[in-house]
Amino acid sequence: AEQAVINVFDHALLYGDGVFEGIRIYHGKIFKEQEHIQRFFESAKVIRLTLPMSPEQLSRAMYDTIRANGVTGDGYIRLVVTRGVGALGISIRRTANPTIIIIVDTISLYPVEVYERGLHCIISSITRNHVNALNPRIKSLNYLNNVLAKAEAHAAGADEAIMLGIDGHVCECTGDNIFVVRNGELLTPGTWEGLLEGIPRAVVMELARKRGIPVRETSLVRHDLFVAQEVFASGTAAEIVPITDISGIPVGDGKPGRITKQLTEDFAAYRNGV
Ligand code: PMP
């Protein structure tokens, strides 16, 4: 951290021009490596950025960085590509070489008590970026939309914010996807709503189907959150975390639900098994 530097003319710093990934290391191994590399390449493609490395070179570089940092157990990788150094002005023609940054760090988690009591959420007054403006499927370095909603949650004394799209449809939390359980069915907003196509999100859907729980990607509104029996969030860092209070209305009986607990166990078994 003391030696790594970034040029002040890098367009990532000046304009948030770049993309990133947050990846887990479990038992020294990169979790869902191919999926993260694919999403990284897709984000880069959509912002017209050609990555200066192949997927294989990227994988080798990540493992080299894990080794250089002496991580043999669990950890976290932040993979970043910047537009590169260029003259002032937003044109991508002004930049030359994208810079790849690989940070290996410890994982920053919610404290255990949050998993026991569940997250307390607000519904943010800040609209999620529209799919035709800056599609949240791009994991871009421009995260202010999320940063502001998270700050709003903290200012209100809550842990997290649920973000809605311009039409009032539920999108996701500020750094996690969202799931709702109602009448034995697992529901989650579809990617068309404006959300990151989370990698744990896909795992949760797969695990639920294996348990015989019907899963559906659908449009949800505020009301669906309030009448849900269970709500939880999924993400790389948090894995699965219950949501037990939304705008002061308890979710179900206000305690983490049965299906949330089952899927949490299934997720732990799954990531220990791969
Ligand atoms: N939504 C947003 C906005 C996120 O930043 C993240 C990642 N922290 C997720 C969902 C979860 O997706 P994943 O864990 O695959 O990165």
Whether residue 189 contacts residue 220, with contact meaning beta carbons closer than 8 Å, is answered with: yes
Q: What does the pLDDT read at residue 40?
A: 98
Tell me which residue has tokens 């044109």. Answer: 91
Q: What does the pLDDT read at residue 108?
A: 82
Atom 12 of ligand 1 has which residue's CA nearest to it?
Answer: 198
Tell me which residue has tokens 């949490």. Answer: 264
Q: Count other C-beta atoms under 10 Å from residue 98's C-beta.
A: 23
Instruction: Give the relative orientation of helices 33-46 and 199-210 as an angle to the nearest 10 degrees.
Output: 130
From the CA of 146, give the closest atom in ligand 1: 3
Report d(CA 219, CA 17) in Å as an integer.
30
Strands (E), 33-146: 75-82, 99-105, 119-123
Task: List, chain by chain if needed, residues with CB within 6 Å of any ligand 1 atom.
Answer: 22, 146, 172, 175-177, 196, 198-200, 235-236
Q: Residues 82-134: pLDDT tens digits?
A: 999 999 999 999 888 999 999 999 988 899 999 999 999 999 999 999 999 99
**C-alpha distances in Å from residue 128, one per residue of 82, 190, 203, 246:** 23, 14, 24, 17
Residues with active-site annotation: 139
Whether residue 53 contacts residue 16, with contact meaning beta carbons closer than 8 Å, is answered with: no
Whether residue 128 contacts residue 168, with contact meaning beta carbons closer than 8 Å, is answered with: no
Tell me which residue has tokens 């976290």. Answer: 76
Q: What does the pLDDT read at residue 125?
A: 98
CA of 149 to the centre of ligand 1 (A): 14
Q: Which of 176, 232, 271 to mutate to test the pocket of ligand 1 (most atoms within 8 A of CB)?
A: 176
CA of 130 to the centre of ligand 1 (A): 17
CA of 173 to the centre of ligand 1 (A): 9
Tell me which residue has tokens 């949800």. Answer: 220
Atom 3 of ligand 1 has which residue's CA nearest to it?
Answer: 175
Q: What does the pLDDT read at residue 94?
A: 86
From the CA of 174, give the closest atom in ligand 1: 3
Atom 4 of ligand 1 has which residue's CA nearest to it?
Answer: 175
Residues of the chain with pLDDT under 70: 274
| Beta pairing partners, 234 | 177, 240
Q: Is 75 helix (H, G, I), strand (E, B) or coil?
A: strand
CA of 88 to the centre of ligand 1 (A): 31
What is the DSSP secondary structure assignment for residue 159, as one 8-state letter?
S
Residue 80 backbone dihedrals phi, psi, to 5 degrees:
-135, 140
CA of 200 to the centre of ligand 1 (A): 8
Q: Residues 129-162: pLDDT tens digits?
A: 999 999 999 999 999 999 999 999 999 999 999 9
